[in-house]
């Protein structure tokens, strides 16, 4: 059975029982390009929301955070770079891929300088974009995990049932102030799974709510 996945600028049928790997925003004035990239990303398990302009993308970005974004830049106005600058000025956490059919070295340098994770030139093959997405997100995930490990000591609770490796990973992120949703994205889990791990952690530590858990964490430090 199929369910409609909502787009700003089109729709695509996706299996109702598919487990989503998260949401990706795609902004491109070209309808055909939006649809081509959307299909490729959905085949990888992502939900995709498409936009024909930056204003619509920024409006939805104020409400929720996708796994990443693909933003088109067109010469000569380079409006996509302005969107990237606005997102980075607000410390928006989602990584951004800039795509352009008029790419050159100065534009690529400008995109990376303003915080783009990668710069992709048109025309491109969907398989190549997916491969670069996997590589870039994998590298970002490794960097984030290393950053968390460097800032967060191993959290132990003497006298309590030991935490599993996954529970330790979840707890490290919660201790660093990461939301359940963001922790799920970093670990490649669903938010519900993270909530389940958090419930197990609280049971093992012997606390009844998140406030007690964080007080216990601070006490152990």
**CATH at residue 211:** 1.10.10.10
Q: Which two tokens stand for residue 26?
A: 């795609």
Q: Percent of the chain beyond pLDDT 70?
A: 77
Mark which of 98, 120, 143 sits at the end of a domain: 143
Joined together, the tokens standing for residue 52 give 């024909």
- What per-residue confidence (pLDDT) applies to 221? 43
pLDDT band at 4 (very low <50, low <70, confident <90, very high): very low
Is residue 209 pLDDT above 90, yes or no? no
Q: Is pLDDT above 60 for 206?
A: yes
Q: Which domain holds residue 178?
A: 152-220
149-173 mean pLDDT: 72
Q: Which of 97, 123, 143 is the last residue of a domain?
A: 143
Same structural domain for residues 89 and 189? Answer: no
Q: What is the mean pLDDT of residues 147-152?
A: 50
pLDDT in tens, 76-129: 555 788 999 999 888 888 889 999 887 677 888 888 888 888 888 888 899 999
Structural domains of the chain, count: 2
Residue 42's pLDDT is what? 94
For residue 19, the SS3 value is coil
**137 and 156 fall within a common domain:** no
Please state at what angle helix 210-220 crosses helix 191-205, rounded to 10 degrees: 60
My answer on whether 63 and 110 are in the same domain is: yes
Give the residues across from 47 on adjacent strands: 23
Residues 118 and 25 placed together within one structural domain of the fold? yes
Q: Concatenate the DSSP letters of all residues of 32-68 into one string.
A: HHHHHHHHHHHHTT-EEEEESSHHHHHHHHTT---SE
Confidence of residue 155 (pLDDT cuts 50, 70, 90): low
Are 22 and 92 members of one domain? Answer: yes
Q: What is the pLDDT of residue 147?
A: 54
> CATH code at 110?
3.40.50.2300
Task: State the pTM of this model.
Answer: 0.60
Report the pLDDT value the prediction gives residue 129, as an integer from 0 to 100: 92
Express each pLDDT in 10-63 by its tens digit. Answer: 434 445 556 678 899 999 988 999 999 999 999 999 999 999 988 999 999 988
Query: Which residue from 6, 27, 33 is spatially nearest to 80, judged by alpha carbons?
Result: 27
Tell me which of 98, 116, 143 is where a domain ends: 143
Identify whether residues 162 and 136 lie together within a single domain. Answer: no
Model confidence over 54-89: pLDDT tens digits? Answer: 899 999 998 888 989 999 987 555 578 899 999 988
**CA 124 to each of CA 37, 52, 100: distance values in angstroms, whole numbers, following the listed order:** 10, 19, 10
Same domain, 120 and 186: no
Are 23 and 45 in the same domain?
yes
Residues 60 and 128 in one domain: yes
144: confidence class by pLDDT, cuts 50, 70, 90? low
């Amino acid at each position: 059975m199929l369910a409609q996945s909502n787009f700003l600028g089109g729709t695509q049928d996706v299996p109702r029982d598919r487990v989503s790997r998260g949401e990706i925003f795609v902004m491109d004035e070209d309808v055909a390009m939006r649809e081509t990239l959307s299909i490729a990303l959905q085949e990888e398990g992502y939900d995709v929301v498409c936009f024909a302009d930056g204003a619509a993308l920024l409006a939805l970005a104020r409400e929720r955070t996708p796994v990443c974004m693909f933003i088109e830049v067109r010469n000569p106005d380079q409006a996509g770079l302005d969107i990237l600058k606005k997102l980075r000025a607000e410390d928006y956490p989602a990584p951004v891929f800039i795509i352009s059919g008029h790419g050159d070295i100065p534009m690529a340098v400008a995109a990376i300088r303003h915080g783009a994770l990668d710069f992709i030139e048109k025309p491109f093959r969907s398989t190549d974009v997916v491969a670069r997405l996997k590589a870039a997100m994998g590298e970002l995930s490794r960097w984030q995990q290393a950053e968390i490990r460097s800032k967060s000591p191993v959290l132990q609770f003497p006298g309590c049932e030991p935490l599993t490796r996954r529970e330790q990973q979840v707890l490290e992120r919660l201790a660093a102030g990461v939301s359940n949703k963001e922790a799920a994205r970093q670990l490649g889990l669903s938010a519900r799974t993270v909530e389940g791990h958090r419930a197990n952690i609280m049971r093992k530590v012997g606390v009844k709510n998140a406030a007690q858990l964080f007080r216990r964490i601070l006490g152990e430090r």
